[in-house]
Chain A
Amino acid sequence: MANTTNYNWETPDDTDLVKDGAAAIRTLGSSIDTTTKALNPSTTLGDIEYRSATANTNTRLAIGTTGQVLSVVGGVPAWATSDDANAIQNAIVDAKGDIVAASAADTPARLAVGTDNQRLVAASGETTGLKYVSDTQNTVIDAEGDLLVGDAADALQRLAIGSNAQVLTVDTSVDGKIKWATPAGGGGKLLQVVVAEVTTQTTIASTSFTDTSLTATITPTLATSKILVMFNHSATSDRAASPMGFSLKLLRGATTVYNQDDGGGGTFYANPTTLGSPIGNTFNIYTNGIYLDTPNTTSATTYKTQARVTTTSNSGNVRFQNNSLPSTITLMEIGV
């Protein structure tokens, strides 16, 4: 006799003489039946099997009841009643935006949504330890440049942006105790500087005041500001006789604000007693001027110099920025 590999069923050997074939078949059939039943012990709709401690033998697990979940008890599967009471229930939230927070250990609770623009903050006095509060930092601001200042303990208020060149100033008499204010008097505050360098060679052969090409523009930040104007002019006066000279003046726009003209002879004047050349005289000079102006404006303001020669006879002329020798003009806005 021989046995099958997996279930050890008894079968005739290849060389056996089958004397009683029916008995051999019955023996094999009985073995198959016994094994099959051991592997498939289910008897009822919904039954499931799992492997028992015995080889080739399953254990039947009868179907559980409605709502039960498959669990493990004692190392084997078992149907168990679910513990929904300890799960977060759908019913805990009531509205869009509700959130679930703990009110104690293992205790979830609903926190209703706040109103628009509120923010969530920790609040130990609340059931959930949280609460929605108005977001002052967002809603109190109305415009670009606004600032937040304290209004009281834990309270903020808006400080609207000030105007150009104002500074933050403490003032205990105003709400918030801080305000924007124009800098107080005292003078001498340098607010801005504009410098222009000019190299445009400009020749004037006229007794009428004429632009020298030296110009600069400043836009005062305060109407009360002073403008300190300083210029340094390169000039070459030329005439085929003596004397020779020229005069300068400073203009704001079309208005003369500083005049170095003496009415005829020329402020910058030379009268060589000996001609340096049989064909003419030349003198080179760097002349300067300083003037403190009060333009009373916050509009762009242009300053420039003009010049005229003492005489145009004998080809009298003055050349500014001769051979591109630079002239400069500096405008300083001084807060007062």
Chain B
Amino acid sequence: MNYLVKAIHKLKPTAQFSFIDDDYSTIKWDVLEGDAPTKKQIDDAIKAVKADEANQIEANATAKAALLERLGITEDEAKLLLA
């Protein structure tokens, strides 16, 4: 997952851009509404994206476990059904 891309899109959802080697200073903006985000804003956004990602993974795991319990089957039995 490209966290720099996701961080920028978190700050500027419609932005289009490119960059080299994950280097903030190389970002070339093709589409940008308003001012370009600062490096600190992007670094903070990257931390937020990673936290969102961790939360999403945890939420998905919790929902999966609840579903399995409600169905009364194990994870292996669920995989067998899907195979």
Contact = CB atoms under 8 A, between A and B. Distances in A.
A206 B21 contact: no
A242 interface: no
Contacts of B28: 210
Interface residues of A, number: 22
A278 B55 CA distance: 11
A204 B18 CA distance: 4
B17 A278 contact: no
Interface stretch (B1-9, B36-44, B66-74): B1-9
Given A210-B30, A278-B57, A279-B57, A315 B5 contact: yes
A306 B17 CA distance: 13
B8 A205 contact: yes
A328 B76 CA distance: 45
**Residue of A200, A210, A315 contacting most chain B CB atoms (<10 Å):** A315
A203 B19 contact: yes
Given A278-B57, A278-B60, A279-B57, A205 B5 contact: yes
A312 B60 CA distance: 25
A204 B30 CA distance: 10
Interface in B1-57: 1-2, 4-6, 8-9, 14-22, 28, 30-31, 53, 56-57
A278 B61 CA distance: 10
Contacts, number: 64
Contacts of A206: 16-18, 30-31
A203 B56 contact: no
Contacts of B14: 312
A333 interface: no
> What's the dominant secondary structure at chain B's contact region?
mixed
Contact of B1 (A202, A204, A238, A312): A238
A203 B20 CA distance: 6
B7 to A, nearest CB: 9
A201 interface: yes
Contact of B6 (A211, A278, A315): A315
A28 to B, nearest CB: 126
Contacts of B18: 202-206, 210-211
Contacts of A210: 18, 28, 30
Contacts of B21: 200-201
**Residue of B9, B14, B53, B57 contacting most chain A CB atoms (<10 Å):** B9
A235 to B, nearest CB: 13
Interface of A: 200-208, 210-211, 213, 238, 240, 278-280, 282, 312, 315, 317, 319
Chain A to chain B: the 3 pairs with minimum beta-carbon distance, closest first: A206-B16, A206-B30, A204-B18
Given A208-B30, A238-B5, 5 more contacts: A201-B21, A205-B15, A205-B17, A210-B28, A279-B56
13 contacts: A201-B20, A201-B22, A202-B18, A202-B19, A203-B19, A205-B17, A206-B18, A207-B30, A208-B16, A208-B31, A210-B18, A279-B53, A315-B9
